[in-house]
Structure 1
Amino acid sequence: MKRLRIIVLIILTTKAAMAQDAQPLTLPEAEKQFLQNNLQLLAQRYHVDADNALIDQARKWNNPSFSTTLGFGTLNKVQPFNIGSGGQFEGNIDQLILLAGKRNKQVQLAQWNAASSAAAFDELMRTLRLQLRSSYYELYFLKETEKTLREQLSNLQKILDAYREADSKGSVAHADVIRLQALQVGIANDYTDLRQQELAASLNLQTLLGSPLPVTPVVAGDVLQQYTIGSFTLQSLTDTALANRPDLALANTQLQQANVNYRLQKALAVPDLHVGATYDKNGSYAANFVGMTLGIDLPLWNRNKGNIRSAASEIKAQDALFQQQRLNVSAEVANALTRIQFLEKGSGWPDLKSFNTEYDQLIAEVASNFRKGNISLLQFIDYFNSYSDHVKHTNKFLNDRVLAYEELNYTTGTQLFNTVN
């Protein structure tokens, strides 16, 4: 039992030591740090920049090509690099001209590819923001529960110390001391489990923020009053989601890419034109011959039919995925709204808040009356256990309620409930 007491004292003193190293942040401060330091977002930004650079590259013309023939004399008289008087020099320059609007289609394809990268960035932002807020509020409510359990352990330790002293004098039953110790073990175990959950949530939050220090959420006022469904309807929320969801925008850009690629593949079946000029010093019918060259590929063996059929099938595939994504969006919005309505129905948040205050006062009076001997040990243990369960269940419910609204933010792709604290 002496070892248990040492464990309890460590639990009660560890929190104060950890709080000195933790970084207190409000949610807006956390989101600002998240935007600046999250490495996944930074990497995706570089992908967007890279794809934007390819748009400019697609606009560029092909470089001209140059070829030459340098005179080496004759078989009877070898004269390396004889390009002077009586020697031979031939030069050719050639420029490829893309026909059928190939270059314009390549630019369009690069633009849609950049749009896909931008939509992917927004989708990553949407996903990580939900993770950020989920971890933030989970950590906040876990710390609220932890605060209560620490207070319980502290009060119980004082009562147990008094009972041990009375037990040594024979003024209380030793069995009562054992029962109080068992109660202490149960609460200490609950506290340990809670700390494991808190550490996991803290690690997730710290990773998302790219912070070298743990974070302590700072929530001012009644956080639940910042979330209310108001006049939003299923139809209005669904319309908002269809207009703003980045994953739906990504599916649409991929469909547009497929359409442009199909047009490009059809254009690639059209041969391109080579235009150039040639100069021949002494090898032609006349000295210093100058001529114009024209060339075109003959589409005899390859008319790009396979790529055209593949691109046409890809359009159908991307269209099916886009329509499926629209259905998913509508279903996710309906599910998120139903969850909120379920949590709100009969929750009686103002009554719950008042009830929490009354319960806090009640448990303080119970502890006081138990010290005075006005209530029995069994009554005290029953109240104590009920209070612990109430605090854990209440904070879990409050966390679930906040996350339900954040899930609706996520499913609509907007910040309908943008908290400020």
Structure 2
Amino acid sequence: MRTFRILLFGVMISCLGFSKTTQAQTPKTPITLQAVEDSFIVRNYALLAQRYQIDASKALIRQAKIWSNPTFSTVLGFGSTNNFRPFAVGANGQTEYNIDQLIQLAGKRNKNVQLAATAARMNEATFDELLRTLKLQLRENFYNLYYRQQTAKILKEQLDNLETIVKAYVVADQKGSVAHADLVRLQALQVGLENDYLDLKQQELESQKNLQQLLHSQDFYEATLSPSDLVAYNLDKLQLQQLLDSAAVNRPDVRVADMELQTSRLNYRLQKAMAVPDLHVGATYDKQGSYVNNFVGLTLGIDLPLWNRNQGNIKSAALQVNATQQQLLQQQSIAQTEVLNAWQQILALEKRYKGFDLHLFQNEFDTLIEEVAKNFSKGNITLLQFIDYFNSYSDNAKNINTFLSKRVNAYEELNYATGQELFKK
């Protein structure tokens, strides 16, 4: 038994040193967050489609500025009921020509231009809202992928190490050098760790899939981060009230709601203007049908607003203004609530993050597990105690990386809630 422990000690020292060994896997493309974002901006189909929507709405501004086409009509003589002569338009025939131009009164044309311009600004705000949402998804998936890959490396090393130890125990069990129950216990530990590793790889694949969909790529990525990439994530230069005030005005979804209110107000003004009849101005030429031959005259026309004065549309537009006012207040309230909650979440995480040095703790735990291996080889601790430490090491790695992922994503949630880039390097 003592000889076996000495041999096992050499195996564990080489294994539990956790050298960064890798196994053949699907080739991954190393990529930084900046590279991901650069690719996302030019390759995401949803963003490209929304850009076309902006250009399309700007074209409608130009269309709204164009005058209505004039109307041309003619009368071709067919003689009389006593002398029917189809198309009698010669020297003794009759022709009449009319041209008519619609002139909109009460500023209708200008109001339509303003409506088109507001629609274009709304599409720009909608683009910013789409970009805000997709960028949050992009960054969250990138950070989740990075920290899951870091955890997966540790678990894979643990599995490789444990597999080596189990193989040694299988040989020793066949020789009767160890208790069979110890081998069963190690094999149970191996199965549990394999399940944890497979679950983590599934989560990693989910993040890979989300990135591939956002980037419209079939590549598999290896996320890379440097300490300098995370330095900017802090609240030192930020004031909560300023963020609340800014979100209530500048956040894209709030701007969309504000554009909807402006649209409803412009539409109300337009509907009131529609109650004013438009003017028709034109000219007419009559060859022989008037009191003189080759008669030329000016035509003027206007609708008589006796019954339809656009009352229903005006009332509907006024009520729509009230509705969009409430929707804007609702969106402002949602924005400020999300900012407040994101801020409080960061404070809670930072309290724990600053409470102790996670990286120092991880290094100390690495040293501890090596000491555990030494003590186990000397018989100072039992196999069950060794397994407990082994499990604790895996749990510690998962918990630290999960916490670091939550922390950085909390800052991105604040970016999302405010609609700003608060943590640029």
Pairwise same-fold verdict (TM > 0.5):
yes
Choose which of 219, 225, 230 in structure 2 pairs with 1:219: 225
CA contact (8 A) 2:78 2:87 kept: yes
Q: Does 2:128 correspond to 1:116?
A: no
Counterpart residue type for residue 308 of structure 1 = I
Q: Which SS does the other structure have where 1:96 is aligned?
A: strand
RMSD (CA atoms):
1.9
Counterpart residue type for residue 224 of structure 2 = V
Match of 1:248? 254
Match of 1:37? 43
Choose which of 332, 335, 358 in structure 2 pairs with 1:326: 332
Go from structure 1 to structure 2 and tell me whether the alpha carbon gap of 1:89 and 1:15 turns closer, same or farther (over 3 Å shift).
farther
CA contact (8 A) 2:102 2:279 kept: yes
Q: CA deviation at 1:367?
A: 3.9
Match of 2:109? 103
CA contact (8 A) 1:337 1:408 kept: yes
Match of 2:60? 54
Q: Does 2:179 correspond to 1:182?
A: no
Q: Which SS does the other structure have where 2:349 is aligned?
A: helix
Q: CA deviation at 1:375?
A: 3.7
Counterpart residue type for residue 339 of structure 2 = V
Go from structure 1 to structure 2 and tell me whether the alpha carbon gap of 1:206 and 1:369 turns closer, same or farther (over 3 Å shift).
farther
**Alignment partners' CA distance in 1, 2:355 and 2:96:** 91
Match of 2:409? 403
Q: CA deviation at 1:74?
A: 3.0
Normalised by the length of structure 1, the TM-score is 0.92
Match of 1:16? 24
Counterpart residue type for residue 228 of structure 1 = N
Q: Does 2:198 correspond to 1:192?
A: yes
Gaps of 5+ in 2: 1-19
Go from structure 1 to structure 2 and tell me whether the alpha carbon gap of 1:221 and 1:16 turns closer, same or farther (over 3 Å shift).
farther
Deviation by residue 1:17-63 (Cα, 9 ceiling, x = unmatched): 21x1x322110110111111111111111111111111000000000
Go from structure 1 to structure 2 and tell me whether the alpha carbon gap of 1:247 and 1:33 turns closer, same or farther (over 3 Å shift).
same
CA contact (8 A) 1:159 1:371 kept: no
**Alignment partners' CA distance in 2, 1:368 and 1:164:** 21
Choose which of 383, 398, 417 in structure 2 pairs with 1:377: 383
Match of 1:71? 77
Counterpart residue type for residue 62 of structure 1 = S
Deviation by residue 1:104-127 (Cα, 9 ceiling, x = unmatched): 000001111111111111011111
**Alignment partners' CA distance in 2, 1:76 and 1:159:** 119
Q: CA deviation at 1:222?
A: 5.8
Moved more, 37-46 or 398-407: 37-46
Q: Which SS does the other structure have where 1:72 is aligned?
A: coil
Q: Does 2:299 correspond to 1:302?
A: no
Q: Which SS does the other structure have where 2:145 is aligned?
A: helix
CA contact (8 A) 1:252 1:322 kept: yes
Identity of aligned residues (%): 57
**Alignment partners' CA distance in 2, 1:172 and 1:79:** 123
Q: Which SS does the other structure have where 1:346 is aligned?
A: helix
Choose which of 130, 153, 161 in structure 1 pairs with 2:159: 153
CA contact (8 A) 1:224 1:398 kept: no
Choose which of 129, 138, 153 in structure 1 pairs with 2:144: 138
Go from structure 1 to structure 2 and tell me whether the alpha carbon gap of 1:77 and 1:148 turns closer, same or farther (over 3 Å shift).
same
Match of 1:92? 98
Go from structure 1 to structure 2 and tell me whether the alpha carbon gap of 1:289 and 1:174 turns closer, same or farther (over 3 Å shift).
same
Counterpart residue type for residue 337 of structure 1 = W
Counterpart residue type for residue 258 of structure 1 = S
Gaps of 5+ in 1: 1-11
Counterpart residue type for residue 85 of structure 1 = A
**Alignment partners' CA distance in 2, 1:185 and 1:372:** 27
Q: CA deviation at 1:15?
A: 6.0
Match of 1:3? none
Q: Which SS does the other structure have where 2:285 is aligned?
A: strand
**Alignment partners' CA distance in 1, 2:61 and 2:373:** 72
Q: Does 2:350 correspond to 1:347?
A: no
Match of 2:291? 285
Choose which of 305, 308, 317 in structure 2 pairs with 1:311: 317
Deviation by residue 1:69-118 (Cα, 9 ceiling, x = unmatched): 11122334433222111011110000000000000000001111111111
Q: Does 2:420 correspond to 1:417?
A: no
